Amino acid sequence: MLGSALALAGCGFTPAYGPAGGGGKLLGGVAPDAPQTRDDFAFVRRIAERLNPPGTVRYRLAYKITTDRLGQAITPDGATTRYSLTGRAEYRLHDAGSDAVLLAGTVASFTSWSASGTVVATSAAEEDAHRRLMRMLADQTITRLLAGAGTLPQ
């Protein structure tokens, strides 16, 4: 166990939430832009779960989410029984005081759902797929922000 820790220390690894990691700057300090859509709300909710609700806001997170629905399984008579949902989140972390862009990037993921049940079941499955996708996009965004947190100004 000690050997693993020494090996990580030797390669320059720094825990994101450790003293020199920079991740602590993000906790309670990121205010996402106000959500406009159901997907935005799910994305922002996950950001708050991971980084805590904003206290003293140091950073503003701007984002743009796009999704695309595509039929995946189509029966011989033309009925679609499975859909995939792809999504992208473009993000920019701004300094709250100067509005300068400090970190930026794009993340992408996908999920799917079955459309072979009732109309109600299919609708519920689609809503769940959107929530899952927004959670994945938010988690990827947080991972990227944590990876760059060491470069953020004090």
74-85 pLDDT tens trace? 899 988 999 999
Q: Cβ(28)–Cβ(47) under 8 Å?
A: no
Instruction: Answer yes or no: is 12 within a domain.
Output: no
Residue 99 lies in a domain: yes
Does residue 11 form part of some domain?
no
| pLDDT score for 27 | 92
Q: What is the CATH number of the domain that holds 47?
A: 3.30.160.150
Percentage of the chain beyond pLDDT 70 is 87
- Tally Cβ neighbours within 10 Å of residue 56: 7
- Report if residue 10 sits inside a domain: no
pLDDT in tens, 85-124: 999 999 999 999 999 999 999 999 999 999 988 999 999 9
What are the E-state strand segments in the chain? 30-32, 59-74, 80-95, 101-114
Domain interval for residue 114: 23-151
Q: Is 127 helix (H, G, I), strand (E, B) or coil?
A: helix
Whether 1 is in a domain gets the answer no
The verdict on residue 30 lying in a domain is yes
- Reading phi first (left if > 0) and then psi (alpha if -120 to 50, else beta), residue 109 is in beta
**One-letter amino acid of 104:** A
The three-state secondary structure class of 8 is helix
Q: Is residue 109 situated within a structural domain?
A: yes
